């Protein structure tokens, strides 16, 4: 980021960047087996860029962990592998073997079970298997009401439970990263960033992101008012359903059958930011798993999702 | 989001450029449950057009269902995060909210005003540049207002705004407003709040929030938003002496060694002389390394990596300071301590203290006094409970660099961590080093422990019996000492009951007193080991942390922990002193195993159980263990 300072005063993005770097260094210094949960989305891209800054000229001293569902967009897999290779980072890809064996998918098993088994269970498995004691995540406090109170260093029990009553007070820049009895930590370096901050930072720092964020002609079908992209031949078309090409892009990325596209012509970063600023619905509305009830994210967190 | 929407629509690049140079203000809002604080923040979000359509739709639905504003939107519902508290109608933790205007980006720490939650307010205030205190115009300055003001002042927030809210309910009365201002100013002067901005508002109706209100023609000051947009972001940190705690030593290869950290005070340039504390070594800054290239200067708030021109030893926890105005180094302090956990503070118990990037052992003395946050009176106190604030002396297990909190929040603020649960149980503000910290030195002596032990012809050590009352500790300890004595070993027996008749006659049976009881015994044991004696200690000693403290006072291999692991039922059945009966009858409080916990040792050197072995057999097992460890021949 720009190194010229306005009378010694930092801009809001400079302050956020410095805070995120401080959090990452603190987490790495106080853990034995750290890892970064890497979801391939824009927040992950932003977080990875911050990690590279935090440890420069060293390479970030932890692997990227992708809890895979096998149902991400093919563009995402390509981007993931390229990014890890480019920065010389270890990449740990975990697919819940139980889900692989049973062929869990969003079409036959529904979005809730699909997400719970692949992501929530998969995350627990990979943490246990590699004995990670601290995982970075890209969650932001502005995403959802229950996240506004999430700590930067969030304690999970040996059973991966989040207990709102056991979260530690965080004062000044002092984070307590100590763990007892199999506890692990989730650390959220971009807690205090908003969606606009992330986009603006990507813009200023020219951080690569998955091309799906940019508008292009893509094959989609419309279901319950949501545009779903037909990314491969596993897509189960209903009778009479024919994919049509429309100019669309994605505001959030996940499993392709669960990610709603929006019609857009925005194929530049500033175009995306412009659309985002003029939009009147919040980001998470594109994520189908949040639709259940407004307390649902909190429930998922207690169960160990993120 | 409609604000600046014309610019967004017509020239996004220009908009982004203007947004890029916004500064960041972190502020805290404080108020009582009904002051309308959540409504105010909801209003600020709404007025800055940050409420999305789907949020608004949900807000309308929620307002109809659980709202308190009839058919109007209940802005407070935008904020309450966790479902349980939403139903209770009070926020019970610190929540962070974000909004921006055309001039600034804001992070609001929303903390509850409820009686019990000093902890949350202190947490929110610790990162705030400014504070907005809410006062209900109908009620004026309340006890809670005083409490919030005190905490804001304690945490060193310099910019305070008082929003006199609900002006619509007092017919926008100038007289009422003036009376509240006068009352508050009188109080603020006494607690050291120098600069206060008063603003008459109605969060519900929107008066003086973003636009000057036609209802208050007598008011000529800024709107609340106007105030927040112009209050100076604290530049004090930049003008103070250079400080950077080392977070991480960056060594990608043999030819690069950098010290990574965030500057928490002043500025630094290549060529600046620095001093690394606590060691006191000096060097010169060579480069300020970042991924974007080397910097010609770094200022407070920036995260950087410094290289030094000399190969000096510095590691995580050290503080790099301006050589001409370094921090002080000390190991004993006076501090304000805020207790943040349900388990009360135990004076004398070893805790951990994290300050900067350094974690050290600390024991906290009995409070000199507790502060009644409502009246500011100083009260006598034996300990601190959840949400209590007191002034205490701290004793650290090694010297640390620090600045008084009033000079630098980041080198003077600390948290206290429980060694067993690893929870953050307290926080504090260092004021000054105690003089004795500089003046007490170890006296070198010519006759040392080894010399004494050699003359005695034995290895000194501590045989520490722990277990429930009635478990058989004293009986076994007595037999063990007799056996050792018969073998010609010089011994001394410290028995819980006997010591309480003398050295510890001033102590009772609260958790705090039990900790102090054991601390003294640990010290006496250590002195006796230093004198070359085998000490046999028989104390219930229910807490792991204090047994660890006793273990830490002597050298490795000198501490033999004997857990007399007799089940509670058996001990209670025996009840040799009739104490269990009394405790069960409620005549004896804080009795271990009944209404006070016993934390069994996880890995004692010896474990005996008198329900399956005789006292004689148990004693023999202990003597055998001493023999195996070379304590006796």
Residues 6 or more apart whose CB falls under 8 angstroms from that of A190 comprise: A16, A20, A43, A46, A47, A50, A138, A139, A140, A198
Is B289 in Cβ contact with A57 (below 8 Å)? yes
CATH of the domain at B318: 2.40.30.10
pLDDT tens track for B183-235: 999 888 888 887 899 999 998 888 999 889 999 999 999 999 999 998 887 66
Whole-angstrom Cα distance, residue B540 to residue B312? Answer: 48
Average pLDDT of the segment spanning B329-341: 92
A137: how many CB neighbours lie within 10 A of its CB? 22
pLDDT band at B455 (very low <50, low <70, confident <90, very high): confident
Whole-angstrom Cα distance, residue B352 to residue B361? Answer: 5
Question: Within this chain, do residues B455 and B533 fall inside the same structural domain, yes or no?
Answer: yes
Catalytic pick from B153, B471, B474, B541?
B541
ipTM computed for the complex: 0.87
- Between CA B125 and CA B133, with CA B128 as vertex, the angle to 5 degrees is 65
Ramachandran angles phi, psi of A93, nearest 5°: -105, 125
**Residue A161: domain span:** 12-205+295-303
Name the percent of chain B lying above pLDDT 70.
88
Ramachandran angles phi, psi of A253, nearest 5°: -115, 140
DSSP-H helix ranges across B232-385: 236-239
Question: Within this chain, do residues A156 and A256 fall inside the same structural domain, yes or no?
Answer: no
Nearest to B22 among A12, A191, A194 (CB): A12
Question: Within this chain, do residues B607 and B468 fall inside the same structural domain, yes or no?
Answer: yes
Question: Within this chain, do residues A124 and A231 fall inside the same structural domain, yes or no?
Answer: no
Residue A87 inside a domain? The answer is yes
Q: Which of B116, B67, B117, B75 is nearest to B94 (CA)?
A: B117
**Beta carbon pairs, A and B, within 8 Å:** 207
Q: Which of B542, B560, B551 is nearest to B469 (CA)?
A: B542
Whole-angstrom Cα distance, residue B172 to residue A109? Answer: 60
Question: Within this chain, do residues A83 and A144 fall inside the same structural domain, yes or no?
Answer: yes
Is the C-alpha dihedral spanning A193, A195, A198, A200 positive or negative?
negative
Question: Within this chain, do residues A235 and A92 fall inside the same structural domain, yes or no?
Answer: no
Residue B633 inside a domain? The answer is no
Question: Within this chain, do residues B211 and B309 fall inside the same structural domain, yes or no?
Answer: no
Question: Within this chain, do residues A129 and A267 fall inside the same structural domain, yes or no?
Answer: no
Question: Within this chain, do residues A42 and A165 fall inside the same structural domain, yes or no?
Answer: yes
The two three-digit tokens of residue A75, written as one number: 């563009």
A270 min Cα distance to partner chain B (Å):
7
- The number of domains in chain B is 4
B97 min Cα distance to partner chain A (Å):
7
Last residue of one domain, picked from the residues B322, B339, B372: B322
Is B299 in Cβ contact with A11 (below 8 Å)? no
Is A282 in Cβ contact with B410 (below 8 Å)? no
B469 min Cα distance to partner chain A (Å):
29
Q: What is the 3-state secondary structure (H, E, C) of B408-477?
A: CHHHHEEEEECCCCCCEEEEEEEEEECHHHHHCCCCCCCCCHHHHHHHHCCCCEEEEEECCCCCCHHHHH
Question: Within this chain, do residues B49 and B193 fall inside the same structural domain, yes or no?
Answer: yes
Last residue of one domain, picked from the residues B183, B209, B230: B230
Average pLDDT of the segment spanning B461-472: 92
Q: Are A162 and B82 in contact (CB under 8 A)?
A: no
Question: Within this chain, do residues A155 and A216 fall inside the same structural domain, yes or no?
Answer: no
Question: Within this chain, do residues A144 and A241 fall inside the same structural domain, yes or no?
Answer: no
Residue A121 inside a domain? The answer is yes
Question: Within this chain, do residues B361 and B503 fall inside the same structural domain, yes or no?
Answer: no
Residue of chain B whose Cα is closest to the Cα of A150: B95
Average pLDDT of the segment spanning B482-490: 90
Is A145 in Cβ contact with B81 (below 8 Å)? yes
Is A15 in Cβ contact with B24 (below 8 Å)? yes
Question: Within this chain, do residues A195 and A215 fall inside the same structural domain, yes or no?
Answer: no
Cα distances (Å, whole numbers) of residue B588 to B113, B329, B474, B498, B596:
38, 46, 21, 19, 11
Question: Within this chain, do residues B457 and B515 fall inside the same structural domain, yes or no?
Answer: yes
Residue of chain B whose Cα is closest to the Cα of A26: B247
Q: Are B156 and B131 in contact (CB under 8 A)?
A: no
CATH of the domain at A179: 3.40.50.620
Residue B444 inside a domain? The answer is no
Question: Within this chain, do residues A23 and A84 fall inside the same structural domain, yes or no?
Answer: yes
Does residue B9 or residue B422 have the better pLDDT? Answer: B422
**Residue B540: domain span:** 449-628
Per residue of chain A (306 residues), give pLDDT as tens: 444 444 457 888 999 999 999 999 999 999 999 999 999 999 999 999 999 999 999 999 999 999 999 999 999 999 999 999 999 999 999 999 998 999 988 888 888 888 888 998 999 999 999 999 999 999 888 776 666 677 899 999 888 888 777 788 899 999 999 998 789 999 999 999 988 899 999 999 999 999 999 999 999 998 888 889 998 888 888 888 899 999 999 988 989 988 889 989 989 998 888 888 777 555 444 444 443 333 444 455 555 544
Q: How far apart are the first and last CA of chain B?
A: 83
Asked about B541 being catalytic, the answer comes back as yes
Last residue of one domain, picked from the residues B230, B263, B280: B230
Residue B282: pLDDT above 50?
yes
B12 min Cα distance to partner chain A (Å):
6
- The number of domains in chain A is 2
Residue A5 inside a domain? The answer is no
CATH of the domain at B492: 3.40.50.300
Is B355 in Cβ contact with A174 (below 8 Å)? yes
Question: Within this chain, do residues A157 and A18 fall inside the same structural domain, yes or no?
Answer: yes
């Amino acid at each position: 980021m720009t190194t010229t300072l306005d009378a010694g005063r930092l801009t809001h993005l400079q302050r956020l960047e410095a805070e995120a770097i401080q959090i990452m260094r603190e987490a790495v210094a106080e853990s034995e087996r750290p890892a970064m949960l890497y979801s391939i989305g824009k927040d992950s891209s932003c977080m990875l860029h911050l990690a590279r800054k935090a440890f420069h000229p060293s390479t970030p001293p932890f692997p990227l962990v992708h809890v895979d569902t096998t149902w991400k967009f093919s563009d995402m897999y390509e981007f993931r592998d390229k990014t890890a290779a480019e920065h010389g980072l270890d990449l740990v890809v975990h697919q819940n073997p139980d889900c692989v064996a049973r062929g869990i998918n969003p079409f036959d098993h529904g979005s809730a079970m699909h997400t719970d088994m692949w992501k929530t269970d998969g995350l627990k498995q990979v943490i246990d298997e590699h004995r990670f004691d601290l995982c970075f995540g890209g969650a932001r406090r502005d995403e959802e009401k229950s996240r506004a109170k999430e700590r930067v260093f969030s304690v999970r029990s040996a059973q991966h439970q989040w207990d709102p009553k056991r979260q530690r007070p965080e004062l000044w820049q002092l984070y307590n990263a100590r763990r007892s009895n199999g506890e692990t930590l989730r650390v959220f370096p971009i807690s205090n960033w908003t969606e606009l901050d992330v986009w603006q930072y990507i813009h200023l720092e020219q951080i690569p992101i998955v091309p799906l964020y940019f508008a292009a002609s893509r094959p989609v079908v419309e279901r319950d008012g949501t545009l779903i992209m037909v990314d491969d031949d596993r897509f189960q078309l209903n009778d009479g359903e024919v994919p049509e090409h429309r100019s669309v892009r994605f505001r959030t990325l996940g499993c392709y059958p669960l990610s709603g596209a929006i019609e857009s012509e925005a194929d530049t970063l500033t175009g995306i930011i412009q659309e985002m600023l003029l939009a009147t619905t919040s980001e998470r509305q594109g994520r189908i798993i949040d639709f259940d009830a407004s307390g649902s994210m909190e429930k998922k967190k207690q169960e160990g999702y993120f | 989001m409609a604000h600046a929407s014309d610019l967004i629509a017509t020239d996004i690049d220009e908009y982004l450029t203007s947004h890029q140079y916004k500064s960041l203000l972190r502020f805290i809002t404080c108020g009582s449950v009904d002051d309308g604080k959540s409504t105010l923040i909801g209003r600020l979000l709404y007025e800055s057009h940050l409420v999305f359509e789907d949020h608004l739709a949900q807000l309308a639905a929620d307002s109809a269902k659980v709202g308190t504003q009839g058919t109007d939107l209940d802005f407070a519902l935008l904020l309450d995060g966790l479902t349980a508290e939403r139903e209770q109608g009070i926020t019970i933790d610190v929540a962070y909210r974000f909004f921006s205007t055309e001039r600034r980006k804001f992070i609001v720490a929303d903390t509850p005003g409820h009686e019990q939650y000093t902890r949350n307010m202190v947490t929110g205030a610790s990162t705030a540049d400014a504070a907005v205190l809410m006062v209900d115009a109908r009620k004026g300055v309340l006890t809670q207002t005083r409490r919030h003001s005190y905490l804001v002042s304690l945490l060193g927030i310099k910019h305070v705004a008082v929003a006199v809210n609900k002006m619509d309910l007092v017919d926008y009365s100038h007289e009422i407003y003036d009376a509240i201002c006068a009352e508050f100013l009188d109080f603020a002067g006494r607690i050291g709040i120098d600069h206060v901005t008063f603003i008459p508002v109605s969060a519900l109706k929107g008066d003086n929030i973003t636009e000057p209100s036609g209802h208050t023609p007598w008011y000529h000051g800024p709107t609340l938003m106007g105030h927040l947009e112009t209050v100076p972001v604290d530049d004090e940190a930049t003008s103070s002496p250079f400080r950077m705690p080392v977070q991480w030593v960056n060594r990608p290869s043999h030819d690069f060694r950098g010290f990574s950290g965030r500057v928490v005070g002043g500025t630094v340039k290549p060529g600046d002389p620095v001093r690394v504390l606590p060691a006191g070594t000096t060097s010169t800054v060579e480069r300020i390394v970042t991924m974007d290239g080397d910097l010609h200067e770094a200022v407070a708030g920036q995260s950087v990596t410094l290289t030094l021109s000399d190969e000096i030893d510095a590691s995580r926890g050290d503080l790099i300071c301006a050589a001409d105005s370094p921090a002080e180094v000390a190991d004993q302090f006076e501090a304000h301590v805020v207790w943040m956990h349900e388990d009360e503070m135990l004076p004398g118990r070893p805790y951990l203290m994290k300050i900067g990037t350094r974690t050290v052992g600390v024991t906290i003395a009995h409070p000199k006094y507790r502060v009644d946050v409502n009246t500011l009176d100083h009260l006598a106190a034996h300990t601190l409970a959840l949400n209590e604030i007191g002034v205490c002396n701290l004793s650290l297990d090694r010297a640390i660099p620090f600045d008084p909190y009033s000079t630098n929040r980041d080198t003077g603020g600390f948290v206290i961590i429980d060694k067993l649960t690893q929870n953050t149980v307290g926080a504090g503000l260092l004021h000054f080093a105690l003089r004795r910290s500089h003046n007490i030195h170890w006296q070198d002596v010519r006759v040392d422990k080894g010399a004494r032990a050699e003359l005695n012809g034995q290895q000194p050590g501590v045989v520490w019996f722990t277990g429930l009352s009635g478990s058989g500790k004293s009986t076994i300890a007595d037999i063990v000492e007799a056996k050792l004595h018969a073998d010609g070993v010089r011994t001394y027996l410290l028995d819980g009951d006997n010591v309480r008749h003398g050295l510890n006659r001033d102590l009772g049976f609260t958790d705090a007193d039990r900790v102090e009881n054991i601390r003294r015994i640990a010290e006496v044991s250590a002195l006796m080991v230093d004198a070359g004696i085998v000490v046999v200690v028989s104390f219930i000693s229910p807490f792991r942390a204090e047994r660890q403290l006793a273990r830490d006072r002597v050298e490795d291999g000198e501490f033999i922990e004997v857990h007399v692991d007799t089940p509670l039922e058996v001990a209670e059945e025996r009840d040799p002193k009739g104490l269990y009966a009394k405790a069960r009858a409620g005549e004896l409080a804080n009795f271990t195993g009944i209404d006070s916990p016993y934390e069994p040792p996880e890995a004692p050197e010896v474990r005996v159980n008198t329900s399956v072995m005789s006292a004689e057999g148990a004693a023999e097992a202990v003597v055998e263990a001493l023999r195996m460890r070379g304590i006796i021949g």
